[in-house]
């Protein structure tokens, strides 16, 4: 059920959905973050006359997302979600780091209203741009009476912030939710729900420094054949506060890399193990030298570790 009278606020941050290409048949050689969020809305005839507001928070390619933009975006989301007349907020975003931004916003805000992220795999100038339909679907979710939490809406599916992940570099159906599955499908503007919406306690925006340079330094290293510990030592020497290791299989780590990570942990650097596979979780066993990030992808485990470090007294 939708509240058609309630206001939806659409916040723009750039990305492919706002990209332009000199050739309409070129879906890869474009420049992201060129079209303003107001223009994106105007390109969706079905949204004409709808109670919408728009605001440009940033205009960038999401591969270049920064902690400072995350903080600014979270603040603007919190501001609009607190307004009684607003049913939900939509954020247009690039696909490359959408899952990281989604998890950051869910952990910091855990909103009781829907905070809907959407994006596109093709630029706004494409012959068959996917952005307009994704944006229309995102607004429908933001108006849905039962929706809550941070979700991502792409290709007719609603994914929860914890589960959403990009699994293909080119196709329109580039996102899924791993083992958990999508929360809902959007069918002609109506939602068919499969499982509960995201919940959880908000860490609070006040814990997050406005200055991105004041955030703890957390990096990701990958375990692979022939992995060495030198990279871990170099990162620790450069001031890393935390490390996430993208492991093979069920959290296994090359012995040389693991030895370096254990040494780093003994010296006070926080370490988490994730899996470099795109589904499943790391199932811990007794005697594990390094803690598990459970079902969080390496990128989300990094966000989680940063927020954990920020929450330390």
- Is 82 domain-assigned? yes
186 & 54 share domain: yes
77 & 173 share domain: yes
In angstroms, how far is the first alpha carbon of the chain from the final one? Answer: 43
17 & 71 share domain: yes
Number of domains in the chain: 2
302 & 157 share domain: no
Per-residue model confidence as pLDDT tens digits over 75-91 = 999 999 999 999 999 99
173 & 229 share domain: no
Mean pLDDT of the region 174-186:
97
Cα–Cα distance between 122 and 149 in angstroms, integer? 26
Residue 1 pLDDT class (50, 70, 90 cuts): low
121 & 30 share domain: yes
Q: What does the block give as tokens for 251? A: 């959290």
253 & 181 share domain: no
- Is 207 domain-assigned? no
Q: What does the block give as tokens for 125? A: 């100038």
Residues noted as catalytic: 16
- Is 203 domain-assigned? no
Cα–Cα distance between 174 and 256 in angstroms, integer? 35
Distances (CA, A) of 187 to 190, 217, 282, 310: 5, 42, 34, 40
Decide: helix, strand or coil at residue 231.
helix
Per-residue model confidence as pLDDT tens digits over 87-113 = 999 999 999 999 999 999 999 999 999
72 & 115 share domain: yes
18: containing domain? 7-193
Task: Specify the pLDDT at position 137.
Answer: 98
- Is 209 domain-assigned? no
Q: What does the block give as tokens for 76? A: 């603007």
Mean pLDDT of the region 174-190:
96
130 & 269 share domain: no
Mean pLDDT of the chain: 96
CATH number at residue 229: 3.40.50.40
In this model, does residue 60 exceed pLDDT 90?
yes
Task: Specify the pLDDT at position 313.
Answer: 64
Q: Which of 162, 193, 224 is the last residue of a domain?
A: 193
**Contact by Cβ (8 Å): 175, 152:** yes
175 & 287 share domain: no
In this model, does residue 17 exceed pLDDT 90?
yes
158 & 232 share domain: no
- Is 135 domain-assigned? yes
Express the helix, strand and coil content of the chain in percent, nearest 5 each: 30, 25, 45
Q: Which of 193, 225, 243 is the last residue of a domain?
A: 193
Instruction: Count the neighbouring beta carbons within 10 Å of the beta carbon of residue 23.
Output: 11
Task: Report the sign of the C-alpha dihedral through residues 106, 306, 17, 187, in that order.
Answer: negative
- Is 17 domain-assigned? yes
Q: Which residue has the higher pLDDT, 212 or 249?
A: 249
Task: Specify the pLDDT at position 286.
Answer: 87
CATH number at residue 121: 3.40.50.1170
At CA 276, angle to CA 105 and CA 100, rounded to 5?
15
Distances (CA, A) of 24 to 19, 20, 29: 11, 9, 10
**Rounded to 10 degrees, what is the CA torsion of 154, 159, 160, 165?**
-80
Residue 312 pLDDT class (50, 70, 90 cuts): confident
Q: Which of 193, 208, 242 is the last residue of a domain?
A: 193
In this model, does residue 2 exceed pLDDT 80?
no
Task: Specify the pLDDT at position 4.
Answer: 67
Percent share of the chain, pLDDT over 90: 94
Per-residue model confidence as pLDDT tens digits over 232-244 = 999 999 999 999 9
19 & 153 share domain: yes
Per-residue model confidence as pLDDT tens digits over 272-283 = 999 999 899 999
DSSP 130: S
């Amino acid at each position: 059920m939708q509240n058609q009278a309630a206001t939806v606020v659409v916040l723009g941050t750039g990305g492919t959905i706002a990209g332009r290409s000199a050739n309409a048949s070129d879906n890869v050689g474009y420049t992201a973050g060129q079209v303003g969020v107001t223009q994106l809305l105007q390109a969706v005839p079905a949204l004409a006359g709808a109670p919408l507001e728009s605001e440009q928070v940033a205009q960038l390619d999401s591969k270049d997302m920064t902690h400072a933009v995350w903080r600014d975006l979270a603040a603007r989301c919190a501001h609009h979600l607190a307004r009684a007349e607003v049913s939900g907020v939509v954020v247009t975003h690039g696909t490359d780091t959408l899952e990281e931004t989604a998890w950051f916003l869910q952990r910091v805000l855990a909103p009781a209203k829907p905070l809907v992220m959407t994006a596109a795999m093709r630029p706004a100038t494409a012959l068959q741009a996917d952005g307009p339909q994704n944006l229309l679907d995102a607004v429908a979710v933001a108006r849905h009476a039962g929706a809550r939490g941070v979700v991502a809406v792409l290709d007719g599916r609603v994914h929860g912030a914890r589960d959403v992940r990009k699994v293909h570099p080119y196709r329109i159906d580039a996102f899924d939710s791993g083992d958990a599955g999508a929360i809902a499908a959007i069918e002609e503007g109506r939602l068919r729900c499969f499982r509960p919406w995201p919940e959880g306690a908000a860490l609070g925006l006040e814990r997050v420094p406005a200055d991105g340079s004041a955030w703890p330094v957390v990096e990701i290293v990958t375990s692979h054949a022939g992995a060495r510990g030198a990279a871990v030592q170099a990162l620790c020497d450069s001031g890393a506060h935390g490390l996430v290791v993208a492991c093979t299989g069920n959290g296994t780590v090359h012995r040389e890399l693991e030895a370096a990570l254990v040494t780093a942990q003994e010296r006070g650097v926080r370490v988490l193990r994730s899996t470099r596979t795109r589904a499943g979780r790391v199932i811990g066993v007794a005697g594990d030298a390094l803690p598990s990030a459970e079902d969080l992808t390496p990128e989300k485990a990094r966000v989680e570790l940063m927020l954990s470090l920020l929450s330390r007294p």
